[in-house]
Amino acid sequence: MSGAGKRQRLTLRIAAMPMGLLALSCLYPIFFAVNNALKTRHDYMLDRFGLAMQPTLDNFVQAWTRAHLGEYFLNSVIATLGAVILLMVVSSMAGFALASLRFPYRRFLFAVILSSLMIPVQVVLVPFMRTMLALNLVNTHIGLILSYTAFFLPFSVYMMTAFYSGLPRELIEAARIDGASLLQVWWHVMLPLGTPALVTLAILNTLSCWNDILISLLVMQKHRTLMVGISALKGQYSDQIPLFTAGIVIAAAPIVVLYILFQRRIVSGIAVGAVKG
């Protein structure tokens, strides 16, 4: 092997060492939570950092039933799934209109959408709650779905507009010449072509909706979502750390699996707006 090849291998090994330590620092909290969730309360008090010598799934069963995490899990699934589907449909149609159609104040409308990304959620909480109360949407699944859609729609529209801006207008013109309406152009042409961006958008919005606490805490005051329920576990079962960590594992498991399966698409989706348009 040449001297240049040896130096390159040595450089890669040196660079891999801090990356490996960084990976271990990220994986250890997951291992710590799973390990303690498999312990009994007695075993945890005896050795907090040791391995679970007699692992048990009782904490997961208790968290799912006694702590009502099963009900909270279902609420999160309904809200997340409904919001993600609505976000994909609305943002795809809006992105198609803003990127491909020519109508008055199009650029101004797009600028308003972009500017809304810079407004913190906390600033609009008071008028938001007044609107929700006036429409009787508090403590309803549809209210939480519409709330997620409203708060996460600006980024979704921006992302789809950036993606559709990179597609040739000849596709739309050809479909229009064949007699297709605008709705048919969106359904038969733009929607299939936008599938890669829509999948990325669905993943990112799933992460945002699933991990949300603030919006769901305000809207679903009687019917908690999973993350709100996990936060309540810390106070309700503060002396039962294995039960609390079991709840954390239950809440994190779907997101960890989703990230492992689609990590490349998540990373590539962040750069969509930079490479399109």
What residue segments make up the domains of the chain, in order of their start?
3-58, 61-275
**CB 58, CB 40: distance < 8 Å:** yes
Tell which residue, 217, 207, 220, 247, has the closest CA to residue 65: 247
Quick one: residue 55, left, alpha or beta (phi over 0 = left, psi -120 to 50 = alpha)? beta
* The CATH number fitting domain 61-275, selected from 3.30.930.20, 1.10.540.10, 1.10.3720.10, 1.50.10.100: 1.10.3720.10
| pLDDT single digits (tens) 59-70 | 899 888 888 888
pLDDT given at position 79: 96
Q: How far apart are the first and last CA of the chain?
A: 45
Q: What confidence tier does 4 reach under pLDDT thresholds 50, 70, 90? A: low
Q: Is the pTM of this model over 0.75?
A: yes
* Residue 133 pLDDT > 90: yes
Tokens encoding 153: 């729609």
pLDDT at position 2 is: 57
pLDDT, averaged across the chain: 86
- Is residue 274 pLDDT above 70, yes or no? no
Q: Residue 52 contacts by C-beta under 8 Å, 6 or more apart in sequence?
A: 35, 36, 38, 39, 43
88-97: average pLDDT: 94
Name the E strands within 204-251.
none
Q: 277: pLDDT confidence band, cut at 50, 70 and 90?
A: very low
Residue 51 is predicted with a pLDDT of: 84
d(Cα 8, Cα 19) in Å, to the nearest integer?
Answer: 17
Residue 146 has pLDDT above 50, yes or no: yes
